[in-house]
């Protein structure tokens, strides 16, 4: 009997609140076997899901986000493939049979020049000008493709730059707190209140003059001084929004109960950052980076439009729209193409950003 008591008594500590099973008398008849139906309740109905998988599923259920992904993939596909398929380059004057073709000026979409028609009659093959040609006998389609490439990559790199600087600054400020935080945030306040577009214009004008001799002969020259200054200005001014966001995130997360709990159970600083702080703010940061891209594209095209953008003959969507103004009366399609591409990119990035926020922001979960 004493042995039996010993077996049933799971209580190791006398003071424990655990129920002392030895006080009850259990035998086979006290239990009932589970029926098949009851067993089935334990079955796993759906596969276990991760945060990422769950978010992707939500994103894919959002028709606007899916449509924007499709549009973006299509645009990306075209700008990657087109330069390998179309036999023209963005700065090259169209030549027929090795000769420069001066008649291929301001052609309409899918129109051929006189020389090209002659050449085709002789049996030669000419790649069609999908969007016609510009006033300097260059294929317009390939210029729009390169313009899109330039605008998109400027948007992407500028956003990454903003992300890196803002993330570092914001996390240092948020994590250290106290006086350091106060001083760092006053700096942010001042930069935040500067009228960014004006400072961009001003710096672009100045950097244009001062950087030109420095870049002579380097790879960066091809990109143009204006683009370098755009990046510099982005690096100087636009990170403040991101820094504020990151700091705010870190401050709120730092004071959450689960961080306190993790600290109480003895988690080290590194583990808290990796397991608690980063997963909770990464989605917000990525979403605002995604939403930063269209604004960078806007800025770039705006600067190109007032003549402070990419170096000619390199096109960008803004500079193409600007040049199209001159012949607006006769060739309106030259404005329509780059304008539609800008609007499509910005619209789909905006919608995708909204979709990402709905799908991945942990605070919106209900």
Q: How far apart are CA 137 and CA 94, in angstroms?
A: 6
Residue list 185-204, contact with another protein (CB under 8 A): 189-190, 193-195, 197-199, 201-203
Confirm if 25 and 1 have CB atoms less than 8 A apart: no
Q: How far apart are CA 233 and CA 198, in angstroms?
A: 11
Per CB under 8 A, does 332 bind another protein?
A: yes
Binding residue for another protein (CB under 8 A) from 131, 342, 356, 359?
342
Per CB under 8 A, does 224 bind another protein?
A: no
Nearer to another protein, 133 or 226 (CB): 226
Two tokens, residue 67: 């449509």
Tokens 């998988």 appear where? 53
Per CB under 8 A, does 324 bind another protein?
A: yes
Nearer to another protein, 185 or 272 (CB): 185
Per CB under 8 A, does 314 bind another protein?
A: no
Print the binding letters for residues 153-192 with another protein: x by CB under 8 A, - otherwise. ------------------------------------xx--
Nearer to another protein, 185 or 259 (CB): 185
Per CB under 8 A, does 339 bind another protein?
A: yes
Q: How far apart are CA 59 and CA 355, in angstroms?
A: 6
Q: How far is the CB of 345 from another protein (least distance, A)?
A: 8
Q: How far is the CB of 190 from another protein (least distance, A)?
A: 6
Per CB under 8 A, does 19 bind another protein?
A: no
Nearer to another protein, 224 or 281 (CB): 224
In our burial notation (b when 16+ CB lie closer than 10 A, e otherwise), range 159-169 reads bebbbebbbeb
Nearer to another protein, 77 or 195 (CB): 195
Nearer to another protein, 35 or 329 (CB): 329
Per CB under 8 A, does 77 bind another protein?
A: no
Confirm if 91 and 84 have CB atoms less than 8 A apart: no
Residue list 268-307, contact with another protein (CB under 8 A): 294, 298, 301-302, 305-307
Q: How far apart are CA 280 and CA 273, in angstroms?
A: 10
Q: Which stretches within the chain are classed as H helix? A: 2-8, 36-40, 51-60, 63-85, 114-121, 140-176, 178-193, 196-215, 220-223, 225-233, 239-254, 257-264, 269-272, 278-305, 317-324, 333-360
Indicate the DSSP class of residue 286: H
How many other CB atoms are there within 10 angstroms of residue 26's CB atom?
9
Footprint on this chain of another protein (rule: CB under 8 A):
189-190, 193-195, 197-199, 201-203, 205-206, 209-210, 213, 294, 298, 301-302, 305-308, 318, 321-322, 324-325, 328-329, 332, 335, 339, 342-344, 346-347, 350-351
């Amino acid at each position: 009997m004493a042995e039996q008591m010993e077996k049933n008594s799971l209580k190791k500590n006398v003071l424990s609140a655990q129920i002392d099973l030895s006080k009850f008398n259990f035998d086979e008849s006290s239990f009932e076997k589970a029926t098949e139906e009851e067993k089935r309740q334990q079955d796993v109905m759906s596969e276990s899901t991760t945060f990422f998988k769950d978010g992707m599923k939500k994103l894919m259920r959002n028709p606007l986000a899916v449509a924007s992904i499709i549009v973006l993939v299509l645009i990306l596909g075209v700008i990657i493939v087109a330069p390998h398929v179309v036999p023209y380059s963005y700065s090259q004057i169209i030549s027929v049979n090795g000769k420069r073709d001066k008649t291929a000026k301001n052609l309409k979409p899918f129109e051929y020049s006189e020389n090209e028609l002659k050449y085709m009659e002789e049996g030669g093959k000419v790649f069609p000008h999908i969007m016609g040609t510009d006033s300097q006998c260059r294929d317009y389609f390939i210029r729009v493709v390169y313009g899109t490439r330039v605008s998109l990559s400027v948007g992407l790199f500028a956003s990454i730059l903003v992300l890196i600087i803002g993330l570092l600054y914001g996390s240092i400020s948020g994590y250290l707190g106290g006086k350091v935080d106060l001083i760092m945030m006053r700096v942010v306040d001042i930069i935040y209140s500067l009228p960014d577009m004006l400072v961009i214009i001003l710096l672009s004008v100045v950097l244009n003059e001062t950087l030109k001799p420095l870049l002579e002969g380097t790879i960066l020259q091809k990109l143009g001084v204006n683009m370098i200054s755009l990046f510099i200005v982005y690096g100087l001014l636009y990170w403040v929004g991101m820094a504020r966001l990151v700091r705010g995130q870190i401050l709120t997360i730092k004071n959450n109960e689960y961080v306190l709990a993790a600290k109480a159970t003895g988690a080290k600083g590194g583990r808290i950052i990796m397991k608690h702080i980063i997963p909770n703010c990464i989605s917000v940061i990525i979403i605002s980076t995604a939403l930063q891209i269209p604004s960078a594209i806007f800025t770039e095209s705006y600067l190109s439009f007032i003549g402070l953008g990419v170096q000619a003959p390199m096109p960008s969507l803004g500079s193409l729209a600007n040049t199209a103004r001159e012949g607006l009366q006769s060739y309106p399609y030259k404005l329509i193409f780059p304008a539609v591409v800008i609007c499509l990119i910005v619209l789909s990035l905006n919608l995708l950003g909204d979709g990402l926020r709905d799908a991945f922001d942990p605070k919106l979960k209900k």
